[in-house]
A and B are shown apart, each in its own frame.
Chain A
Amino acid sequence: MINVWRSLRFLVVSVVLLGVIYPVVITGIGQLVFPFQANGSMVSLNGRIVGSELIAQAVTSPGLFHPRPSAVNYAANGSGGSNLGSTNPALVKEVQANIANVEKHNPGTLVSSIPTSMVESSGSGLDPDISIRDAMIQIPRIAAATGLSQSALKNLVAHYEQGPFLGIWGHSMVNVMQLNLAIKREAQ
C-alpha cells in the first residue's frame, strides 16, 4: 500500500515537472528567442500569411514551382505517405499518373530525365523541398507563364539552393515556398 501511495505522489510531482513545467518553459524560451520558428515558420506576402516555409501546399499554377506529389493532398492537418509497397500495382498506377502530370505541364520532358522524387510521393505528404533537377524541368514552363527569363529563374534557383550539409549529409535541393514567394514579388 505504501508503494501505491508513493507512486501516486511520484505521479503528481513528475506530471507537473515533466508534463507541464518542462514544455511550458521550452515554449516560453522558444517564443522569446525564436518566435518565427516557434510558431511554425509562417511566411507572408503583402502582409498576409500565405503558409509555412516548411510545409508544402497545393500549387498548380503554371507560373509557380510545383512541390512533390502528396499522398494526402497537402493536408497540413493530416500528414502521411502513400504506404504503397514496391510490388503493389497501385504504386505503378500512382507513379504513372504523376509522370503523365509532369509531361502535361512540362511538354517535351523525357521520362528518363525525371528524378524519382518528382513523381514519387513524399513521406509526410508535405515535403517543402524539391531537387535541383526537378526545379530545372519546371523552369521553361514558369518562364513562359510569367515572362521572366529562364536565366533569371536559374539564378533564383541557384540563389536559394541548399545543401548538402558539410558536403556529406543530404542533397542539393531548393525550398518551393522561397522560390514561389520570390517569383510573386518579382511579378509585382
Chain B
Amino acid sequence: MTFSGVVGIITVVALVLILSIPLGGYIHRVFTGERSWFEPIFAPFERLLYRLIGVNPKVEMDWKVYIKSLLILNFVMALFVYLVFRLQGVLPLNPDGVPSMNWALAFNTAASFVSNTNWQSYAGESSMSYLGQMVAITYLQFTTAATGVVAAIAFVRGVVANRSSSLGNFWIDLIKVHTRLLLPLAVVLAIVFVGLGVPETLQGAASVHTLQGASQIISRGPVASLEAIKQLGTNGGGYFNANSAHPFENPSTITDVLQILAMALIPTALIATFARFIKNRRQGVVLYVLLTSTLLIGAFVVYANEAIGNPMLHHLLGLSGPNMEGKEVRFGVGLSSLFTAATTAFTTGAVNNMHDSLMPISGLIPLLFMMFNTVFGGIGAGLLNILMFLVITVFLSGLMVGRTPEIFGKKIEAREIKLATAAMLVHPFVILIPTAVALVTKAGTSSILNPGLHGLSEVLYAFTSAAANNGSAFAGLNANTTFYNVLLGLVIMIGRYVSIVAMFAMAGSLAKKAVIPESVGTLRTDTYAFGGVFVAVVVIVGALTFFPALAIGPIGEHLQMWAGHLTR
C-alpha cells in the first residue's frame, strides 16, 4: 500500500458523498412533484410520453396495483429481449455476423438483464449483435435501474403515509426517473466517455495489419452509450467480455474514477432522498457514516492483500510485488481494489480486474458485500434491503429492551416482521441450496476452472452474485452451460422479485397505519448505538448463515496459500 494509493481511494469516496448528497435532495424534489429549473423542457416531453403510453397522471395506486404494473411490465420487457437474443442472427445491425443465442443462454441473459443483475454467461464481442447491445442491453440498463428507484420511492411513500393506501403512480414515477435523472446524466457521461477514448460507432470490427504484419480484428461498436448507463444504473453488464478492464470500455485512469463515481452516485443519493422523505437528517448521517466506513474497510482489506501480492510466486519463483494477474496497469492496485469493493457494495457487477485472480481474502470481500447486500446496495434495491434490515433490527432491539417496536412513527407488527423475514431469508436460501446442488452434480463441477478450495469459491461466487443481482463473477467458471444458465437465471429472478413483492406488501400495510407521535418510549433509530446494532444484525445474520461456506472457500484457501501449499 502506498500513501498516494490510500489518498486516491479516500478521495474518490469523498467525491461520491459530495456529489450524491445534493443529488439525493434533487431526487426527493422530483418525487414530491416540485418544479425543477428545466421544467419547460421536462414537462412537455413527459406529457407527450404520458399520451403515447396512455397514462392518466391523476391516478393514484395502492400497493397491489403498483406492484402488478411493475411485474407485468418486467415480464413484457423480458419476453421482448428474449426474442431479440433468439433472433439477433437474422435481425439488422449485426455487422460482425453474430449468431442467435440458444434458449438457455437467451433465458439466462433476459432474466439477468431484466432484473438489473447483468450476469453475463455470454462474451459481448462474439455473442451480442449491435442491435442486441442497443435495444436489449442498453435499453434494460435504463428501465431496470428506473424500476429499482421507483420501487424504493414507493416503499418510502408507504412509510411516511398517514392512514392512506396510495403509493403514487407507477408509470409517472417510472417515466420521471428516465426524463429527470437517468437520461440527462447518461447523455452527459456518454459524451465525456467518447471524448476520453470510449468508441461509439455503428461500423463493424476493424481489421488491421499490425506493426509486425500480422492481422488483428478489433471489435468495437456503440460502447460509450452503453457504458454510461451501465454504471449510472448499477447494471454492470459490459460491452466486451473483459468488462471495465477492457481498454475500450475504460481507457484511462480518469475514466475509471468516473465509473466508480457513476456507479456509486444514485444508490448513495437515495439515502439522502430517504432522509428528506422522513424529515430526519440524523438518520441519513448515521447511515452514511456506517455504510461509508464499511465500504472503506472492504476497499482497504482488498488493497492490503493485493499490495502484498502472491506469496506462492515469491516463494517458488523469487518474484515479488503486488498481484497484477488479471489487472490493468492504468488502474494499478489501488483503483482496482476500490472498484472491486464498490462494484459489490453498490451491486453493480462491472469489473475492472478479474476477481477470480484476486488473493483469497481479497476475493472474500466482494463475496461478503454481496451476501450482506446492504452496503448501500444496488440502485433502489439497496435502499429496500437497508430498510428491511432496519425493520428487523427495530424488532430485535424492541424485544431486548422491552419496547413496542416502531420505526419512523409506524408500529411494527407480526405482518411486517413476517414479510421482512421472508425477504431476508430468500437471499441465503437461493445462494446456499443451488451452490450445494452444483457441487454434488457433475453438471455443476465440470464447469469449474480452478482446482481445490478455489473451485468451491467460484461456484459460491456465481450464486451469490446472482442472488444479490450483482452480476460480477469469478469468471473462470464456465457458466454458459444449460445447467448454469437455467439455475442462475432462476436464482436471479427469485432474488429480485420475491423480496420486492414482500417489501411492497409491507409498504402497503405500513401506509395504512396512523403515524404515532414520538414519545420518551420511542426507540430512536437515528443514533449510533442503534446503528451499531443494525450493523451487528447484518453481520451476524450474514456471518452465521454463510460462515461455513466461506471457511471452506476463501478462508481455507488463504490459510493454504500462506502455509505454502499449491493445490494439487
Q: Is A107 an interface residue (CB 8 A)?
A: no
- CB-CB under 8 A from A54, the residues of chain B are 197, 247-248, 251
Contact of B198 with A37 in the complex, beta carbons under 8 Å: yes
Q: Is A117 an interface residue (CB 8 A)?
A: yes
Q: Would you list which residues of chain B between 238 and 254 have a CB under 8 Å from chain A?
A: 240-242, 245-248, 251-254
Q: Is B542 an interface residue (CB 8 A)?
A: no
Contact of A58 with B212 in the complex, beta carbons under 8 Å: yes
Q: Interface centre among B138, B211, B217, B318, by most A CB within 10 Å?
A: B211
Q: Interface centre among B195, B248, B457, B474, by most A CB within 10 Å?
A: B248
In the complex, residue of chain B having the shortest beta-carbon distance to the beta carbon of A177: B211
By the criterion of a CB under 8 Å from any partner CB, how many residues of chain B are at the interface? 127
In the complex, residue of chain B having the shortest beta-carbon distance to the beta carbon of A170: B253
Q: Would you list which residues of chain B between 408 and 441 have a CB under 8 Å from chain A?
A: none
Contact of B208 with A42 in the complex, beta carbons under 8 Å: yes
- CB-CB under 8 A from B283, the residues of chain A are none
How far, in Å, is A98 (CB) from chain B's closest CB?
Answer: 10
In the docked arrangement, what's the CA distance between A5 and B255, Å? Answer: 41
Q: Is B100 an interface residue (CB 8 A)?
A: no
Partner of A79, one of B125, B201, B211, B312: B125
Contact of A81 with B218 in the complex, beta carbons under 8 Å: no
- CB-CB under 8 A from B200, the residues of chain A are 23, 26-27, 30-31, 38
Contact of B360 with A116 in the complex, beta carbons under 8 Å: no
Contact of A23 with B222 in the complex, beta carbons under 8 Å: yes
Given contacts A79-B240, A117-B324, is CB(A86)–CB(B357) below 8 Å? yes
In the complex, residue of chain B having the shortest beta-carbon distance to the beta carbon of A122: B328
Q: Would you list which residues of chain B between 187 and 235 have a CB under 8 Å from chain A?
A: 187, 190-191, 194-203, 205-206, 208-212, 214, 216-220, 222, 224-226
Contact of B194 with A18 in the complex, beta carbons under 8 Å: no
Q: Would you list which residues of chain B between 348 and 390 have a CB under 8 Å from chain A?
A: 351-354, 356-360
- CB-CB under 8 A from A149, the residues of chain B are none
Given contacts A37-B197, A51-B216, A76-B218, is CB(A11)–CB(B80) below 8 Å? yes
How far, in Å, is A171 (CB) from chain B's closest CB?
Answer: 4
How far, in Å, is B462 (CB) from chain A's closest CB?
Answer: 13
Q: Is B52 an interface residue (CB 8 A)?
A: yes
Q: Would you list which residues of chain B between 2 and 50 have a CB under 8 Å from chain A?
A: 4-5, 7-8, 11-12, 49
Q: Is A101 an interface residue (CB 8 A)?
A: no
Contact of A124 with B247 in the complex, beta carbons under 8 Å: yes
In the complex, residue of chain A having the shortest beta-carbon distance to the beta carbon of B567: A87
Q: Would you list which residues of chain B between 149 and 174 have a CB under 8 Å from chain A?
A: 171, 174
Contact of A55 with B245 in the complex, beta carbons under 8 Å: no
- CB-CB under 8 A from A27, the residues of chain B are 200-202, 222, 225
Given contacts A50-B210, A83-B354, is CB(A7)–CB(B326) below 8 Å? no
A-B contact count (CB 8 A): 380
Q: Would you list which residues of chain A between 42 and 68 have a CB under 8 Å from chain B?
A: 42, 45, 48-52, 54-55, 57-61, 64, 68
- CB-CB under 8 A from B544, the residues of chain A are none
- CB-CB under 8 A from A64, the residues of chain B are 211-212
Partner of B134, one of A19, A88, A112, A167: A19
Partner of A81, one of B77, B219, B253, B325: B325
Contact of B76 with A8 in the complex, beta carbons under 8 Å: yes
Given contacts A168-B4, A170-B253, is CB(A20)–CB(B123) below 8 Å? no
- CB-CB under 8 A from A57, the residues of chain B are 210-212, 214, 216
- CB-CB under 8 A from B138, the residues of chain A are 18-19, 22-23
Q: Is B446 an interface residue (CB 8 A)?
A: no
Q: Is A114 an interface residue (CB 8 A)?
A: yes
Q: Is B58 an interface residue (CB 8 A)?
A: no
Given contacts A80-B475, A88-B451, A89-B566, is CB(A165)–CB(B253) below 8 Å? yes
Residues 104-138 of chain B: 1 if any A CB is under 8 Å from the residue's CB, otherwise 0? 00000000000000000001011000000011101
- CB-CB under 8 A from A119, the residues of chain B are 319
Residues 438-477 of chain B: 1 if any A CB is under 8 Å from the residue's CB, otherwise 0? 0000000000011111100100000000000000001110
- CB-CB under 8 A from B195, the residues of chain A are 33-34, 37
- CB-CB under 8 A from A11, the residues of chain B are 73, 76-77, 80
In the complex, residue of chain A having the shortest beta-carbon distance to the beta carbon of B566: A89
Q: Is B54 an interface residue (CB 8 A)?
A: yes
B330-338, B503-511, B528-536 - the one binding chain A: B330-338
In the complex, residue of chain B having the shortest beta-carbon distance to the beta carbon of A35: B201
Contact of A99 with B317 in the complex, beta carbons under 8 Å: yes
Given contacts A9-B53, A37-B195, A180-B211, is CB(A81)–CB(B224) below 8 Å? no
- CB-CB under 8 A from A151, the residues of chain B are none
Q: Is B321 an interface residue (CB 8 A)?
A: yes
Contact of A26 with B217 in the complex, beta carbons under 8 Å: no
In the complex, residue of chain B having the shortest beta-carbon distance to the beta carbon of A118: B324
Q: List 20 A-B contacts (CB under 8 A).
A: A13-B53, A14-B139, A14-B178, A15-B135, A19-B136, A29-B194, A49-B206, A52-B206, A61-B212, A74-B216, A81-B356, A85-B357, A92-B566, A116-B323, A116-B325, A124-B247, A124-B328, A164-B253, A169-B334, A170-B331
Nearest 8 interchain pairs by C-beta: A123-B245, A170-B253, A19-B135, A83-B476, A19-B139, A30-B200, A79-B242, A81-B354
**Interface, chain B (partner A; CB < 8 A):** 4-5, 7-8, 11-12, 49, 52-55, 68-69, 72-73, 75-77, 80, 96, 123, 125-126, 134-136, 138-139, 142-143, 171, 174, 178, 183, 186-187, 190-191, 194-203, 205-206, 208-212, 214, 216-220, 222, 224-226, 240-242, 245-248, 251-254, 256-257, 309-310, 312-313, 316-332, 334-335, 351-354, 356-360, 449-454, 457, 474-476, 557, 560-561, 565-568
Apart from A20-B135, A99-B319, what 15 extra A-B contacts exist at CB < 8 Å? A7-B73, A10-B174, A19-B134, A19-B135, A37-B195, A49-B208, A55-B216, A80-B123, A81-B357, A83-B356, A84-B357, A85-B476, A119-B319, A126-B242, A129-B329
